[in-house]
Amino acid sequence: MNGEIEPETSSSWLGLDGRGVLIAGAGGIGSACAKAFIGGGARIVLVDQDQARLEATTKEIHGPCKAIVADLSVATSARMAVKQATEVLGEIDIFIHCVGINQRKPVLDVSEDDWTKVLRINLDSAFWLAQSVGRSMVERGFGRIIILSSVSGLLAHPDHAPYAASKGAINQMMRVMAREWAPFGVTVNAIAPGYTETDLTMDYLERDGNRAKLQKMVPVGRLGTTQELTGPALFLASPHSSFITGHVLYVDGGRTLV
Ligand SMILES: NC(=O)c1ccc[n+]([C@@H]2O[C@H](COP(=O)([O-])OP(=O)(O)OC[C@H]3O[C@@H](n4cnc5c(N)ncnc54)[C@H](O)[C@@H]3O)[C@@H](O)[C@H]2O)c1
């Protein structure tokens, strides 16, 4: 299934029937995306380093979904995962990067290990996976790449230096990929969520009244849900977004307005 599908000629409004989707990261947001894309008629390969998490997610999904275990912070493993996913899907039409960690520490306490770990998992994995997937998409003349950024790529949250650096870098990396690959039918965009309840944020939200403090900073008055990220991801993967590339879509209840 090469090339663009016109929305009006697709059998469903989303135009995702039969599309091959690689989702890196089977956590809260990656799993929600996997379920939403299966619901939209796509075929999925999920990659994560956590086998138990992959098993739990694939059990909940009723549809074509295969799992691959890999440490995606290592370039060779990331490339191998793309190769294996391509063997399963035939072609990867859509790639969604949902891998990430955070280490909340003041700048003066960040160690070399902290810095390297966050940058390798958040940024290196996105670069090596997108490069590998992008190579085939450019050759075929079609592709959709969506990378999970964060409001931290724009705002200066204390205790977030490595995480914020990784997300700011993702935004710029995404823009360069978008510019280079636009002539080849490949769009590259980022989704930047505000605080959303997943394993990434759960412990922090439960401590020291953090949830209430953070909710007050969101004009909508609450935190986001993973389901509120799947609509934007489906849209950016669909034929309806064919003229949108290099964009950071904030899904944050207005957090970046404050
Ligand atoms: N949850 C939020 O509030 C929020 C807000 C802004 C941005 N984001 C971004 O969204 C993305 C997904 O976050 P989430 O909330 O679903 O987090 P999550 O913790 O639920 O999932 C992250 C997944 O990444 C996997 N992972 C970590 N290191 C890996 C590695 N080396 N190789 C392979 N997999 C690895 C974990 O096993 C986990 O399944 C991340 O990029 C995160 O920064 C999340």
Any domain includes 198: yes
CB within 8 Å of 243: residues ≥ 6 apart:
none
Any domain includes 255: no
Q: How far is the CA of 27 from the centre of ligand 1 (A)?
A: 6
Any domain includes 246: yes
Residues in the chain: 258
The enclosing domain of 193 has a CATH number of 3.40.50.720
Any domain includes 155: yes
Q: How far is the CA of 204 from the centre of ligand 1 (A)?
A: 15
Tell me, using a 6 A CB cutoff, whether residue 199 lines ligand 1. Answer: yes
CB-based contact 95:146 (threshold 8 Å): yes
Burial of 103 (0-12, 13-18, 19+ CB in 10 A): middle
Mean pLDDT estimate for the chain:
95
Residues 167 and 2: their CA atoms lie apart, in Å, by 31
Write the Ramachandran bin of 191: left for phi over 0, alpha for psi from -120 to 50, otherwise beta: beta
What digits encode the pLDDT tens for the residues 36-90? Answer: 999 999 999 999 999 999 999 999 998 999 999 999 999 999 999 999 999 999 9
Rg (Cα) of the chain, in Å, rounded?
A: 17
Q: Which domain holds residue 199?
A: 13-250
- Which of 22, 46, 48 gets mutated to test ligand 1 (max ligand atoms within 8 A of its CB)? 48
Residues 185 and 62: their CA atoms lie apart, in Å, by 31
Which token pair is 97?
A: 């990067």
CB within 8 Å of 99: residues ≥ 6 apart:
24, 25, 30, 48, 72, 121, 122, 125, 126
Residues carrying an active site annotation: 163
Three-state DSSP class for 254? Answer: coil
Q: How far is the CA of 111 from the centre of ligand 1 (A)?
A: 21
Residues 205 and 156: their CA atoms lie apart, in Å, by 18
**Nearest atom (ligand 1) to Cα of 72:** 32
Q: How far is the CA of 62 from the centre of ligand 1 (A)?
A: 23
Tell me, using a 6 A CB cutoff, whether residue 197 lines ligand 1. Answer: no
Any domain includes 1: no
Q: What domain count does the chain have?
A: 1
Tell me, using a 6 A CB cutoff, whether residue 26 lines ligand 1. Answer: yes
- Residue having the nearest C-alpha atom to atom 21 of ligand 1: 27
CB within 8 Å of 136: residues ≥ 6 apart:
86, 91, 92, 143
* Structure confidence at residue 162 (pLDDT): 98
Any domain includes 7: no
* Structure confidence at residue 10 (pLDDT): 57
Tell me, using a 6 A CB cutoff, whether residue 53 lines ligand 1. Answer: yes
Any domain includes 25: yes
The residue written with tokens 């160690």 in the block is 111
- Residue having the nearest C-alpha atom to atom 40 of ligand 1: 100
The predicted model gives 247-251 an average pLDDT of 98
pLDDT at 242 over 90: yes
* Structure confidence at residue 12 (pLDDT): 79
Q: How far is the CA of 197 from the centre of ligand 1 (A)?
A: 11
Burial of 10 (0-12, 13-18, 19+ CB in 10 A): middle
Any domain includes 53: yes
Cα–Cα distances (Å) from 121 to 1, 71, 139, 164, in that order, read 32, 9, 27, 13
* Structure confidence at residue 239 (pLDDT): 95
What digits encode the pLDDT tens for the residues 127-184? Answer: 999 999 999 999 999 999 999 999 999 999 999 999 999 999 999 999 999 999 999 9
CB atoms within 10 A of CB 216: 10
